[in-house]
Amino acid sequence: MLSVILLISLGAAEFKVRDMGELKAVWKRKLDIPVYSIVMNFASTSKVNILPRKWYVKYAIMADKNFFEKTKKLVPGNIIRWYDEKGQKKREFRLKVTPYRDIKISKNKKFVGINYYEHANDSFSTFILFDDRGEELWRTSSKPWIIVTPSPDGKWAVGIPEWEYRGNPIIFYLEKGAKKLEFSDYPKVEFNGNHDFTLSGDYWAWVIGKQWLFIFNRRGEIVFNQKFESGIREIEMANERPYIALYYPEKIVLFDWKKEKTVKEINKVTKFDKILFLPGDTLLLICHADEITIKYFLKDEIVGAFKLPEKHYRRPYITDRIVIFPVDIKKQMIFDLSSKSFIRLVINEEIDRR
């Protein structure tokens, strides 16, 4: 049985107590292969409760079993499984065993892209795109080895060369892979891999050399290009407005790329883990260390700050509705984005998590 304890007061912020009722595990399975990654989905939701009534595993990316047994490290394997709400396997895709692969999931978790080639001396790499039902949508091949990431609408994708091939063109796969467009007019500097789609899939942003920002539309055309202060570590594109958040080690710059001006600069930011645009493009910042601070910066509002009860804190899991802070195997700190409420979830039932 799962039970919930609500946190009533956190720092200076106080929140209403809400009855969560009883939460039950939807399903549990002991899998024959270690899991590298899973994507959750909500089977049904309740307007009364903070959390959805049902969660289920949408699909699971299995780990390389042989590599895991030798090193105890999880890396993407050659199997992807799709599940229904009852935990029954709907579909499975098995890739030919190869050590050269990379799996990319779209920003909205609806599409899975597999990049692979079989041998180190192969001339072409292959990209296959699947939807959330496990159906193959399209595939394409490229030369040389690039890592392709699908758009949130699944209609196009962008391939970036691996670091050893830096200087080669990036490739836009348009019209569901039927059309390829190359772009090579960028500074030939160190790659750092920071890129992001808008949730609509209309635009894609790419930072190179930690200071050059390029934004492209779905036709592969440049709509913005500018050199910024060096040191950009991550970017996050807004959902509705033409905003992009650039974060540095100790500050965040919120930039309007259509008006080409800074909207807001947030200084003295340290130890933050993730920035996220919520509905309405309110920028959420989550700091993480022994203390957690959640802020809505467009409104200059600090929602809450609290100390974690245990020291063993891991990276939070973020969706468009909730933020889950894992404390240990039985305790989770949860923040509801819509109601701005904190809760503590305590798991009383031992669940086989293998």
H helix and E strand count, the chain: 1, 31
Structure tokens at 253: 């710059």
Whether residues 263 and 327 fall in one domain: yes
Q: What is the mean pLDDT of the chain?
A: 75
Q: Which domain holds residue 81?
A: 19-94
| Model pLDDT, residue 309 | 54
Is residue 291 assigned to a domain?
A: yes
Q: Which of 94, 121, 139 is the last residue of a domain?
A: 94
Structure tokens at 260: 């080409």
| Model pLDDT, residue 203 | 97
Label residue 15 by pLDDT band (50, 70, 90): very low
| Model pLDDT, residue 130 | 93
Q: Which of 94, 123, 140 is the last residue of a domain?
A: 94
Is residue 161 assigned to a domain?
A: no
Number of domains in the chain: 2
Whether residues 265 and 330 fall in one domain: yes
| Model pLDDT, residue 271 | 63
Q: Which of 60, 94, 128 is the last residue of a domain?
A: 94
Whether residues 6 and 45 fall in one domain: no
Structure tokens at 311: 């020291």
Whether residues 240 and 258 fall in one domain: yes
| Model pLDDT, residue 154 | 92
The predicted model scores a pTM of: 0.79
**Of 323 and 186, which is predicted with more confidence?**
186
Whether residues 10 and 80 fall in one domain: no
Is residue 10 assigned to a domain?
A: yes
| Model pLDDT, residue 120 | 59
Distance CA 224, CA 235 (A): 15
Distance CA 346, CA 201 (A): 38
CATH code for the domain of 285: 2.130.10.10
pLDDT in tens, 136-189: 999 988 776 788 999 999 999 999 887 777 778 899 999 888 888 999 888 877
Phi/psi-derived region of residue 149, left when phi > 0, alpha when psi is between -120 and 50, beta in every other case: beta
Placement of tokens 């894992």 in the chain: 326
Residue type, 202: D
